[in-house]
Structure 1
Amino acid sequence: MAPPCPNLEGAPMRNNQPITDQEHHLDPKCPLVSLTDLKGVILHANQSFVEISGYRQDELLGQPHNLIRHPDMPAEAFEDMWRTLKADLPWRGIVKNRCKNGDFYWVEAYVTPLIEDGRKVGYMSVRTRPTPRQITEANALYQAVNHRSIRFPATRYRRDTSVTARLALMALLPALCFGAALCLGDHGRWLAAGAGVLAAPALGLWTWLGIVPPMKRSGEALLKIASGDLRFELDTRASSEFFRLLIGIQSMKVGLRAVFADILSIAGHVESQSHALNDQVDMANQRIHLGADSVRTMAAAIEQLTESVSEISLATQSSAGQATLTAEKVSQGLGQIVDTQTASLGVVSRMDSAQQLITELKSEVASIQNLAEIIKEIADQTNLLALNAAIEAARAGETGRGFAVVADEVRKLAERTSSSTVEITATVERIGTCTANTLSAMAMAAGEVQISHSLMNESRETYDAIQRSADGIQSSSRNIAAMLQQQEHSSSEVAGKIEEISQLVEQNSSSVESIHKAARQLGHTAQQLHAMTSRFEHSL
């Protein structure tokens, strides 16, 4: 069981709840070990204690040992333990402890004081697995004590008469016999001498029994411990001089059992961990080799990327130059379109002026046609007057012959005038038709010029868009070229970093190999440690 707790000095016993009927069993080869200070505060708990208690290491350290007390344990058991430990003697008993979740487990506890520089500094508790019979007897005892049916049996160490007292009696025997002989008469002297002769061997045998058997038991115990037997029972009954020796050997045996159990457990744990570490190192080594291959592949890819970026950068710079030339050509074409638009606007203006002149000409032709009509009418009237004059001249006879000749000339002139008027009218009509056709053609031409102007406006807008796009392409190409140059620089830096990573991977591979060797050496050391302590394994 555990070392004494603060409540052993009069404080109320701790009642840990809840509890269950679920029992746990100790591993016979894994004793529970704990160290406490003089107040019972836990300073150390081995892994076996941590595992079966259900508490974490940090939950146990710094806590009173009655943290694991089971309510079925009578307070008298702890009082007996405390009295025994107060006397600087070890205590041994069967104890029922509580797990964190309320389950329980039985232990055979051996609690002994810890002495440093002749001063008691704390207590060590070593708990092992009890036999079923011990558990049954202890359970019945504790139930009876809790029901006040019986008293808890106190721990008592039997001691024989000290060797010092025996030697003192042997030293006093001759003096006693001599004094008795002096005090008695002749007959009494012989009686005193006979009593001395008989008492001397008996006293010598008694003294021998007080020295030799305890020494023999001590020697046998030490030989058993040296041979690896730590489970033997040691009879500690002896004279006071040898009692402390036997108690010390008993405590040493229990402590060594706990130490070797922890060493074996730790050695096995180290061995298994070294194997696991070897496996992990092997996996890490494989990953490092895979990583090295990946780094080399990445380096090659980065190198190809750098070359591609360089080629793209050159192509982009060339595209930027072509975009600049395109922008210049577009600018020239745009200027030519503007000039053409200006010229077409001049043509439209001149055609408008020509249309106005032709319209005026058409008006003048119409006026001429009107005049020709008037002339025709005058010619017709003149011709009619000439006919009338000829008729009158014929009536006049010879007198009017001269007048008739004049009238005939006038008639002829009127006919020629009428004929000329018809020709003028036809000519004027042809001029009008030509003028109308010219106006129509000029109107159509003006419309075509307007359409051409509109198309040139659209072309100008298109050229403007092309120029903006060309400018954008030029700017984007420059930006892309700059970014590609930066990318090329970054790729070069990345390639350098990857080279550094590759070197680090190689260094890590070397370090992992060193760790692998160290892990193998650790496993070998653990195996050697296990082999050195394995002869104690059967006695745990």
Structure 2
Amino acid sequence: MQLLISVEENLDRIGGSEADGETGQAAKDNILLRQKEIGQNDQVSRKKREVAQTETVSFSEKDVPSGQSSVISLTDYCLSVPEIEQQLGCFEALAVFRDNPTAPCLVVKDGEGSPAGLLMRDAFHRQLSGRFAAELFYAHPASRFADKEALMVDCKASPSELIGRALRRTEERFYDCVIVTEDGRLKGVLTVRDLMVLSGRLQDRAEQERRLAVEGSCVHVGEMESVLQEAASAAETARAECSRMEQWITAGSGKLEHVHNSYLRVEDRMAEQRSQVEELLQNVSGIASLTEEIGGIAGTSELLALNASIEAAHAGVHGQGFQVVAGEVRSLAHHTRRLTASISSLLGRIGDLAARTAELTGAATGDISGSAEEVAAAKKLFSSLQSAVSTVEQADETACRLAKQSVDRALEVKSRLKAMSDFTER
């Protein structure tokens, strides 16, 4: 700053050739008027800046409800700086810098009042610190030294995107201020320090959100742990019930096997009984044939006895004895015929009963055979059910094992999240 030629010295140099000092006095009056016009709100801007810096607190210290994010606005960090016209001379710009010692820069505005360039204090002073700077530059507009490509953002822009763009600036512009606009008009500027404070607040908010996310994850993991434990308990219970069902199925299958074998034995016996009934019918038929033959013999004997009685009557006294025998034979033959008729009738009844028995036996055999097939089908169903229960039991065992592993992993994740949270708090 020792090389910087003061405003007063350059003013004297410009007006020294005038004996009456009228030109110097006019320049001074012009500068004072411009200073009054440009810097009239500077004190207000300073106070607003001090309040904004005082009220800026770390995001982690704010009482922000869980799950909500604080909105970070660029306007909370903006520094009000003077604006100058494009035609304002370098000498007058130096006067503005002198009357605004806290302003790091000036913003050049165009004819429509929109920011058109940035004039940094240090860079401007370096340009005008030469011995002949007054003669060379003071009469020229200060806008010729302004950066027309300075970083300019809207006040609604994302702070993180702004910081990213600021960090990507070239080395020559890295420490320059950032112009913040609102509806095309100057809202203020952000210095490198403001960007660092803003970045710190973003980091605080990100850390707070990460901490809340970790806490929420711990809660969710705890809920998952409880659910998985319940699932493991339910799977264990289901596995035990499947084991009991398998035992019941085994017992029921054994009983069905016994019933099936009993049906098969009954079926065999019914078949044997039917065979015996058929043999009985055949024997009845044979007896009936023999009875008919006996009846025929009895009829023949009765006819012979009648003939013998006739011959005995012809013999007279000598045939009386033979006549008695012939009578007895005829009586026996008649009795034999009656017995033969009774036996034939009885055999007919026996044959009918045997045929009916054979018919019922055949029907019972068919029913028993059908029941045996149904029992066999039920046995297959029991076998399939046993296989399905075994599969379900294995699946439940696998689910139980996986649930326990998931519980262990959930506990491990919960422990790590807790350790991370403790580390963050430290």
- Which interval holds the TM-score relative to the shorter structure? 0.5 to 0.7
Match of 1:242 among 86, 91, 107: 91
1:214 equivalenced with 2:31 (yes/no): yes
1:288 offset after TM fit, Å? 6.0
Which residue of 2 is the match for residue 466 of structure 1?
Answer: 375
- 1:219-298 superposed matches below 5 A: 225=42, 228=45, 240-243=89-92, 245=94, 251=107, 258=181, 289=219, 291=220, 294-298=223-227
Q: Distance in 2 between matches of 1:242 and 1:236?
A: 13
1:483-494 equivalences in 2 (<5 Å) = 483-494=392-403
1:355-504 correspondence runs (5 A): 355-382=284-311, 385-386=313-314, 404-413=316-325, 417-501=326-410, 503-504=412-413
* 1:360 maps to amino acid: S
Deviation at 1:444, TM superposition (A): 0.8
Tell whether the 8 Å contact from 1:373 to 1:421 is kept in structure 2 after alignment.
yes
- For 1:429 and 1:464, the matched residues in 2 are separated by 52
Q: 1:231 to 1:243 in 2, by over 3 A?
A: closer
Distance 1:219 1:243, change over 3 A: same
Report deviation, 1:470: 0.9
Distance 1:245 1:228 in 2: 19
Q: Taking structure 1 as reference, are residues 261 and 481 closer, same or farther at Cα in structure 2, changes over 3 Å only?
A: same
SS at the partner of 1:362?
helix
Residue 306 (str. 1) matches residue 162 (str. 2):
no
How far apart are residue 245 of structure 1 and its match? 4.2
Distance (Å, rounded) in 2 between the aligned partners of 1:166 and 1:297: 86
Distance 1:251-1:324 versus aligned 2 partners, 3 A rule: closer
Deviation at 1:216, TM superposition (A): 8.6
Distance between the aligned counterparts of 1:370 and 1:292, measured in 2? 112
CA contact (8 A) 1:358 1:439 kept: no
Deviation per CA, 1:210-257: give whole Å up to 9, x if none: 25762795599569536516598979998x552454688763697767
Amino acid corresponding to residue 357 of structure 2 in structure 1 = E
The answer to whether structure 1 residue 352 and structure 2 residue 281 are counterparts is yes
Give the Cα–Cα distance (whole angstroms) in 2 for the partners of residues 324 and 251 of structure 1: 96
Tell me how far apart the structure 2 counterparts of residues 362 and 261 of structure 1 sit (CA, whole Å).
141
SS in 2 for 1:228: helix
User: If the length of structure 1 is used for normalisation, what is the TM-score?
Assistant: 0.44
Give the deviation of 1:462 after TM superposition: 0.8
Task: Note the residue ranges of structure 2 that are not aligned, 5 or more in a row.
Answer: 1-9, 47-79, 98-104, 110-114, 119-178
**2: distance between equivalents of 1:332 and 1:440?**
36
Conserved 8 A contact 2:260-2:376 = yes
Tell me the distance in 1 between the aligned counterparts of 2:83 and 2:392. 88
Change (3 A) 1:288 1:376: farther
Aligned length: 302
- Residues of 2 paired with 1:367 and 1:498: CA distance? 102
Deviation at 1:357, TM superposition (A): 1.1
For 1:74, the equivalent position in structure 2 comes to none
2: distance between equivalents of 1:299 and 1:450?
66
Residue 266 of structure 2 is aligned to residue 337 of structure 1: yes
Q: Is the alpha carbon distance of 1:215 and 1:511 closer, same or farther for their aligned partners in structure 2, counting shifts above 3 Å? A: farther
Structure 1 unmatched runs, 5+: 1-161, 171-198, 390-403, 519-540
Measure the CA separation in 1 of the matches of 2:267 and 2:273: 10
* CA shift in 2, pair 1:418/1:288, >3 Å: farther
- List per-residue Cα deviations over 1:284-328 (Å, max 9, x = no partner): 967963x45643442342233233233223223323432553354
Amino acid at match of 2:354: A
- Closer, same or farther in 2 for the Cα pair 1:241/1:233, shift >3 Å? closer
2: distance between equivalents of 1:360 and 1:241?
Answer: 157
Q: 1:306 to 1:367 in 2, by over 3 A?
A: same
Instruction: Please tell me the residue identity of whatever aligns with 2:107.
Output: S
Percent identity reads: 9
1:65-76 alignment, distance < 5 Å: none
Q: What is the rounded CA distance, in whole Å, between the counterparts of 1:357 and 1:506 in structure 2?
A: 99
Asked if structure 2 preserves the Cα contact closer than 8 Å seen for 1:313 and 1:484, the reply is: yes
Counterpart residue type for residue 297 of structure 2? I
Aligned-partner Cα distance in 2 for 1:166–1:409: 204
TM-score normalised to structure 2 length = 0.54
Distance 2:345 2:408 in 1: 90
